[in-house]
Amino acid sequence: MDFRLSYSPQQEIRAIELPGSKSVTNRALIINALSQRPARIEGIAHCDDTIAITDALKQCDCARIDIGAAGTAMRFLTAYFAAMPGVSLTLTGTQRMLCRPIKPLVDSLMQMDADITYLGEDGFPPLSIEGKRLKGGNISIRGDISSQFISALMMIGPTLKGGLNIQLLGEVVSRSYIDMTCEIMRHYGIEVKSDENLIAIPEQSYSAPDVFKVEADWSSASYFYELVALTDMQNIKLTGLFSPQHSVQGDSVLAHLFNHFGVQTSFNDDCAVISSGKRNEISDEVLCLNLSTTPDIVPTMVVTACLKGRHFHFCGIHNLRVKESDRIAALTAEMRHLGYVLHSDFDSIGWKGERCTSESSPIISTYSDHRMAMAFAPAATIFPGLCIADVGVVNKSFPKFWTEMKKMGIISEEV
């Protein structure tokens, strides 16, 4: 299904209900499953990714588990099932999932004596997994590929014979997600030490709290920050967000980053309140940022910067090429429909002000990627009649996205 979007400014906007953090929920689900006495999880994210993990954890005795397009589920469950004695199954997913590399994680698990076999091309799903008690010790893994590989290993670390020491090689991308995993493990009573390139986890047992509360999702908040940046909206309440000082999510840096686009943030009563500043208060300087720790907000930052007329260069983002889509290539292609000529290489994307003729009725392809759909939706404030293709992709992380956007005046019509 495709939507044609229009913008109708609202006189009064109700509070925006954000989903629970998908990243926090996914980690809590795996850790809960590893705990002898699981916690009650409140504020859980209800989306395709978390449903994939929840369903898979209930199907340990099944011969085949299909996690669809859920990349986090593929990585976390590979490690989880490999460390579960008695499990014997095939783990597979969509065609795109079968093209996403998993070799670094599997290689690390094999060092722990895991029994995993590639059923297709080496280095990629589907996987045949025979679960067993794994041995721990010292392993090394590159830090510049996917933090999800590292988090997957960390979460099973306490269950391994002798615990686990992980040496991170080279530059570490998405560090904030590794830090998030550390903090959630600590909430579950695990001693974990993490410095720049070494993570040490002794053998121990998870001790779950009675209740684990999932905070609202900062990545999802980014699209409402974008919408406020592109309009004159004031005092928009985003419920359930923890302040950067109290959040485990690296994307909480949004509260600072969107100052570059004239958006101010305050916090009260468990919500963020965001307002647009004067629209002409945008610097002429090129906005140069290393976004290696916050890859999920790159699409939002790119679209916002272009539509605000802010020249930029965002680097440290090479891992965006192996997300649900090649997001660097996708952003470069789709911004051209709106008249913006972006420049990119393996690790960066930027805009120097170069324009081309925008299409009269632009259609944004989403490449089966939820973040592409959501990042471009606020552009309807400037491009009335903008079409977003395959709008159901938002179910991966934010099923009620279009409902919440309607509160902000983004009206969708099926075409």
Helix (H, G, I), strand (E, B) or coil at 378: helix
The residues, ordered by sequence, that sit 6+ positions from 294 with a Cβ below 8 Å of its Cβ are 174, 176, 250, 251, 253
Q: Which residues of 376-392 are buried (b: 16+ CB within 10 A; e: fewer)?
A: bbbbbbebeebbbbbbb
Predicted pLDDT at 282? 65
For the cut 70, the answer to whether the pLDDT of residue 366 exceeds it is: yes
- The answer to whether the peptide bond before residue 126 is cis (omega within 30 degrees of 0) is yes
State the Cα–Cα distance between residues 293 and 316, nearest whole angstrom: 8
Neighbours of 280 (CB within 10 A): 6
Predicted pLDDT at 11? 82
Which two three-digit tokens encode residue 252?
A: 């909480």
Predicted pLDDT at 281? 58
Cβ atoms of 120 and 87 within 8 Å: the answer is no
Q: DSSP secondary-structure letter at 169?
A: E
State the Cα–Cα distance between residues 376 and 392, nearest whole angstrom: 14
Q: For 41-81, how does the pLDDT look when each residue is reduced to its tens digit (9 = 90+)?
A: 999 999 989 999 999 999 988 999 999 989 999 999 999 99
| Residue type at 137 in one-letter notation | G
pLDDT category at 284 given cuts 50, 70, 90 is confident
State the Cα–Cα distance between residues 102 and 91, nearest whole angstrom: 12
**How many residues comprise the chain?**
415
Three-class secondary structure assignment of 88-135: EEEEECCCCHHHCCCHHHHHHHHHCCCEEEECCCCCCCCEEEECCCCE
Q: For 135-173, how does the pLDDT look when each residue is reduced to its tens digit (9 = 90+)?
A: 999 999 999 888 999 999 999 999 999 999 999 999 888
Q: Is 296 labeled as catalytic in the residue annotation?
A: yes
State the Cα–Cα distance between residues 109 and 78, nearest whole angstrom: 9
Average pLDDT, the chain: 95
Predicted pLDDT at 311? 97
For the cut 80, the answer to whether the pLDDT of residue 279 exceeds it is: no
Q: Which residues of 326-340 are buried (b: 16+ CB within 10 A; e: fewer)?
A: ebbebbbebbbbbeb
For the cut 80, the answer to whether the pLDDT of residue 131 exceeds it is: yes
| Residue type at 217 in one-letter notation | D
Choosing from 48, 217, 251, 296, which is the catalytic residue?
296
Q: How far is CA 184 from the centre of its chain?
A: 16
Averaged over 405-412, what is the pLDDT? 96
Q: For 173-187, how does the pLDDT look when each residue is reduced to its tens digit (9 = 90+)?
A: 889 999 999 999 999
Q: For 209-240, how does the pLDDT look when each residue is reduced to its tens digit (9 = 90+)?
A: 999 999 999 999 999 999 999 998 999 999 99
| Residue type at 68 in one-letter notation | G
pLDDT category at 19 given cuts 50, 70, 90 is very high
Predicted pLDDT at 163? 97
Predicted pLDDT at 264? 96
The dihedral over CA atoms of 207, 130, 77, 95, expressed in degrees to the nearest 10, equals: 180
Q: DSSP secondary-structure letter at 379?
A: G
Predicted pLDDT at 379? 98
Averaged over 18-38, what is the pLDDT? 96
Adjacency order of strands within the sheet including 410-414: 363-364, 387-388, 3-7, 410-414
φ, ψ dihedrals at 48, nearest 5°: -55, -40
Predicted pLDDT at 324? 86
Tell me what percent of the residues of the chain surpass a pLDDT of 70: 99
Give the start-end residues of each E strand in 270-400: 271-276, 287-290, 312-315, 343-345, 348-351, 363-364, 387-388
Predicted pLDDT at 280? 47
Neighbours of 225 (CB within 10 A): 27
Q: For 292-348, how does the pLDDT look when each residue is reduced to its tens digit (9 = 90+)?
A: 999 999 999 999 999 999 999 999 999 898 788 899 999 999 999 999 999 999 999
